[in-house]
Amino acid sequence: MAVIDNERHKRDLVLRLKRAEGQLRGIQAMIERGAECERVTQQLSAVRRALDKAFFQVLACAIQAAPPQAPGQAQAAAQRLSHAAELLAKFG
Residue 46 confidence (pLDDT): 95
Domain CATH for 22: 1.20.58.1000
Per the CB < 8 A criterion, the answer to whether 20 and 49 are in contact is no
Question: Would 76 be classed as within a structural domain?
Answer: yes
Show the domain range for 13: 7-91
Query: pLDDT tens digits for 58-87?
Result: 888 877 765 656 667 777 777 777 777 777
Q: What are phi and psi of 85, to 5 degrees?
A: -65, -40
> What is the tally of structural domains in the chain?
1
Question: Would 2 be classed as within a structural domain?
Answer: no
Sign of CA dihedral 19, 51, 57, 65: positive
Question: Would 1 be classed as within a structural domain?
Answer: no
Model pTM score: 0.70
CA distance readout (Å), 24 to 38, 40, 47: 16, 10, 7
**Residue 43: closest CA among 27, 57, 32:** 27
